[in-house]
Amino acid sequence: MRVVAAMSGGVDSAVAAARMLDAGHEVVGVHLALSQSAATLRESARGCCTIEDAGDARRVADVLGIPFYVWDMAARFKRDVVDDFRAEYAAGRTPNPCLRCNEKIKFAALLDKALALGFDAVATGHYAQVVEAEDAHGGVRRELHRAVDMAKDQSYVLGVLDADQLAHSFFPLGDTTKPRIREEAAERGFFIARKPDSHDICFIADGDTRGWLTRELGEAPGDIVDTSGEVVGRHAGAFAYTVGQRRGLALSRPAADGEPRYVVEVRPETNQVVVGAADLLGVNAITGDHARWCGPAPEGVVHVGAQVRAHGEEYAATAWADGDRVEVRLEGRVRGVAPGQSVVLYEGTRVVGSATISASRLERAPVGSPGDDLSPATGST
Amino acid sequence: MLPAALAAMTEQLAVVGNASSLHRTGRAARRAVEESRERIARCLGARPSEIVFTSGGTESDNLAVKGTYWARRDRDPARVRLLVGATEHHAVLDCVDFLVAHEGAKVTWLECTPDGVVEPATVRAAIESDPDSVALVSVMWANNEVGAVQDVRAIADVAHEFGVPFHTDAVQAAGHVAVDFEASGADLMSVTAHKLGGPIGVGALVLRRDARLVPLTHGGGQERQVRSGTLDTPAIVGFATALTEATASIEAESARLVALRDDLIERAMAISPDIRPSGVWHRGDGVSRLPGNVHLLVPGCDGDSLLYLLDAAGVSCSTGSACQAGVPQPSHVLLAMGVAESDARGALRLTLGHTSTQADVDTFVDALPAAIERARRAREATAS
């Protein structure tokens, strides 16, 4: 097959490209230029779009002896990921830009361009596995599964891929642990074998999301209130707060019970941040929209594992899809479920699909039980 | 590299000797350097003493532009204005930007015609707006992207009418079209070896004996005190050999390349009605456009897509645009010629040289239709 290896300049995508080459594919390395002003990120230590990273990717491609190109997707990335990220926070939600990037850039814009140029697939250094299984008609269906290295598993951020995108995707690292990948990189003579992992959000170079949001959206001072509506502090912009957050609240008045308080709700319409006790954060019912299915959409009530954040825990749950909407009912309670995050559903190690969380709440009866009519959710805590 | 240049350079590499030394091996090296200098001077219509060896075109341009600017400003603080062609190579453009940012220079960009040519009248008007402020006029002999050859003599005459020195970047021209330093009227002229079949890493600034320059490198005082540093004798020998050979065959090679070039352009234009060459192009004309320069605008395509598809088909070309952080940017040359930015992104530049054959042209023409179709689909795929 003719494969585009997306090469960030990091160790994972380097080994992924090498493995595709070893498997006998015709491989071309492509580095995505995603920053509007790549040159200004020259000194950044984080992220994955610096000139140095592009140079590292090119160096690896040269070692592998494969052609290498830089594709400029900065305008698409700005529109589909950065602008979306800003707008979501402004609306009081907590987005995950990596999912958006995978959905709109890496497995859409990049994949579409690759297919148009005559390639068959895109390979990335994500830790996840594609398993070929027999479908109902005796054909082959590609399933997305968790990586064997659960500490590195990135199937969560790939939960937005649909069957068509999956059909053209390779994740050659999913069967190997990260330490072993570093060893392999060293064995292959890649000088980046010990390069640190990238963390955080690639377009926020200093890792200070709140500072970035304040620069982008401007300061908007407002009140921090408790659940009774009493003002207990001030903030510089409600958009900078996330449900479940405890740190950085700088409350002027301690709680009467002396217990720590958490953000339990962000109200962009009144520019208020609501804080409350930890037990207010516990939910067992999640409503999601923007459903994406990695295979056939589930029919009826299904038993799944639900994960609400990257590298988070998986909770036993039942789920029910209705078009674009998904209802998830957890067997226990989970804290810190913020609107805008994604809930990714698993069946064993297989990724079923994902949805963007629009609301969560505490319910008494399990999903699918008598009287559950999937009516529009109310309340957002 | 031309085989003769490679052989001469390789032979010289085995010879020990510093051309600045007085002992026997030094004298031998110096003789090789000076004989090379004489051969290069003869090929370029210059005197041997006018050849200052450098590390290549970029250094020559830096030395010419910065060195002249500083020397002129030192003598007359009012002379801080640089008149520079809008389609110059970055080796000139970025010197100008540096001098403006750090050394108090002012710049008047000389606009070009849609064919990429700077008219002498444009230079005259730019000087006349404030003649006493001009430090230097710099216009390239031939453009590296679109191959447009300038009327260097006419521009030099205008500059000299006002007593202003004139520099020309002849990196693309030397060895490919007739270049005669004395006849051109230029005061300073940049050339490099690797563009004419010589080694990478050596070039020259041809410098009239009365030209005044502030050096960029200080040290041993080699090369008329203008360019200190031990000379790279083997590279200089390779340079001289390549230029001698290129000059000897210039007419025959020009005719051969013009025929290949015209065949390529005409067959490419026949593939799609909106494909067109940029710059001056007349069938059979190797004077106003470099004989081996092909530059095509392919609307609806991204240059980097074409580059990949053609490379996969065995054709080496470039997009004709500069890279910023590895990302192709629309060429400043095309934009200066008035080409729309979206069309400029679909630029394709091919250079035909001494190794190019009719089979290469056929390979390119055969691969082009499918490449264009896929490249257009790729742009549509990413535009949505």
Strands B347-351 and B293-297: antiparallel
Q: Quick check: B381 and A76 CB within 8 A?
A: no
Maximum distance among all Cα pairs of chain A, rounded to whole angstroms? 67
Give the A:B interface size as CB pairs under 8 Å: 56
When CB atoms are compared, the residue of B308, B324, B382 closest to A112 is B382
Query: For residue B231, which phi and psi values (nearest 5 degrees)?
Result: -75, 145
Q: Quick check: A33 and B326 CB within 8 A?
A: yes
Chain B partners of A115 at a C-beta cutoff of 8 Å?
Answer: 381
The C-alpha of B102 sits at a distance from chain A's nearest C-alpha, in angstroms, of 20
User: What is the pLDDT, as a whole number, of residue A205?
Assistant: 78
Q: What is the Cα–Cα distance from A321 to A314, expressed in whole angstroms?
A: 19
- CB of B308 within 8 Å of a chain A CB? The answer is yes
User: What is the pLDDT, as a whole number, of residue A195?
Assistant: 85
Chain B from 4 to 33: CB within 8 A of any A CB:
none
**Spans of chain B, pLDDT less than 50:** none
Check for a shared fold between A2-194 and A282-361: no
HSE-CB of A290 using CA atoms within 13 angstroms: 18
The C-alpha of B313 sits at a distance from chain A's nearest C-alpha, in angstroms, of 12
Q: What is the Cα–Cα distance from B91 to B98, expressed in whole angstroms?
A: 11
User: What is the pLDDT, as a whole number, of residue B317?
Assistant: 80
Contact B130, B104 (CB under 8 A): no
Maximum distance among all Cα pairs of chain B, rounded to whole angstroms? 71
Residue of A nearest to B372 (CA): A117
User: What is the pLDDT, as a whole number, of residue A41?
Assistant: 42
Burial class (CB in 10 A: 0-12, 13-18, 19+), A127: buried
The C-alpha of A23 sits at a distance from chain B's nearest C-alpha, in angstroms, of 20
What residue ranges do the domains of chain B occupy? 3-248, 250-383
Residue of B nearest to A42 (CA): B325
When CB atoms are compared, the residue of A38, A72, A116 closest to B374 is A116
Q: What is the CATH number of domain B3-248?
A: 3.40.640.10
- CATH architecture group of domain A282-361: Beta Barrel (2.40)
When CB atoms are compared, the residue of A31, A67, A117 closest to B305 is A117
Instruction: Report pLDDT digits (tens) over B315-341.
Output: 888 876 555 556 677 889 999 999 998
- Per-residue pLDDT tens, chain A, 381 aa: give them: 999 999 999 999 999 999 999 999 999 999 998 886 554 443 444 444 577 888 899 999 999 999 999 898 888 999 999 999 999 999 989 999 999 999 999 999 999 999 999 999 999 999 999 999 888 888 888 999 999 999 999 999 999 999 999 999 999 999 999 999 999 999 999 988 888 887 778 888 788 888 899 999 998 999 999 989 999 999 988 888 888 888 878 787 777 777 888 999 999 889 999 999 888 888 999 999 999 999 989 999 999 999 998 888 999 999 999 999 999 999 999 988 989 999 999 999 999 999 999 999 998 765 555 444 443 333 333
pTM of structure? 0.86
- Give the H/E segment covering residue B327: strand B327-328
Give, in degrees to the nearest 5, the angle at Cα B373 between B371 and B377. Answer: 115
- CB of B328 within 8 Å of a chain A CB? The answer is yes
Q: Quick check: B327 and A38 CB within 8 A?
A: yes
A101 is catalytic: yes
* Alpha-helix residue ranges (DSSP H) falling in A160-268: 163-166, 178-187, 209-217
Q: For an interface test with A, which of B327, B341, B345, B374 has the most A Cβ atoms less than 10 Å from its Cβ?
A: B327
- CB of A310 within 8 Å of a chain B CB? The answer is no
User: Was domain A2-194 assigned CATH 3.40.50.1390?
Assistant: no
Q: For an interface test with A, which of B308, B315, B317, B372 has the most A Cβ atoms less than 10 Å from its Cβ?
A: B308
- CB of A74 within 8 Å of a chain B CB? The answer is yes
Catalytic annotation, residues of B: 323
CATH class of A219-280: mainly beta
Instruction: Report pLDDT digits (tens) over B61-111.
Output: 999 999 999 999 999 999 999 999 999 999 999 999 999 999 999 999 999
Where do we find the tokens 């009866």?
A365
Q: Quick check: B382 and A38 CB within 8 A?
A: no
When CB atoms are compared, the residue of B311, B323, B375 closest to A67 is B311
Q: Quick check: A117 and B382 CB within 8 A?
A: no
User: What is the pLDDT, as a whole number, of residue B21?
Assistant: 84
Q: What is the Cα–Cα distance from A164 to A303, expressed in whole angstroms?
A: 24
Catalytic residue among A48, A49, A98, A101: A101
Q: Which of helix, strand or coil describes residue A227?
A: coil
Q: What is the Cα–Cα distance from A128 to A124, expressed in whole angstroms?
A: 10
- Give the H/E segment covering residue B349: strand B347-351
What residue ranges do the domains of chain A occupy? 2-194, 219-280, 282-361
Chain B partners of A118 at a C-beta cutoff of 8 Å?
Answer: 309, 374
Q: What is the Cα–Cα distance from A364 to A362, expressed in whole angstroms?
A: 7
User: What is the pLDDT, as a whole number, of residue A279?
Assistant: 84
Strand locations in chain A (E):
2-6, 26-33, 68-72, 121-123, 128-134, 140-146, 169-170, 222-226, 231-235, 261-267, 272-277, 283-293, 301-307, 314-322, 325-334, 342-347, 350-361
The C-alpha of B85 sits at a distance from chain A's nearest C-alpha, in angstroms, of 26
Among B31, B39, B37, B34, smallest CA distance to B15 is for B31
When CB atoms are compared, the residue of A67, A76, A116 closest to B377 is A116
- CB of B305 within 8 Å of a chain A CB? The answer is yes
Pick among 3.90.1150.10, 3.20.20.10, 3.20.20.60, 3.30.70.100: CATH of B250-383 = 3.90.1150.10
Q: Who contacts B203 (Cβ-Cβ below 8 Å, separation ≥6)?
A: B53, B54, B55, B56, B57, B59, B60, B171, B190, B191, B192, B193, B239
The C-alpha of A360 sits at a distance from chain B's nearest C-alpha, in angstroms, of 34
A294 is catalytic: no
Q: What is the Cα–Cα distance from B9 to B265, expressed in whole angstroms?
A: 36
Among B171, B213, B226, smallest CA distance to B52 is for B226
Contact A304, A318 (CB under 8 A): yes
Q: What is the Cα–Cα distance from B37 to B31, expressed in whole angstroms?
A: 10
Contact B276, B269 (CB under 8 A): yes
Chain A partners of B328 at a C-beta cutoff of 8 Å?
Answer: 72
User: What is the pLDDT, as a whole number, of residue A244?
Assistant: 87
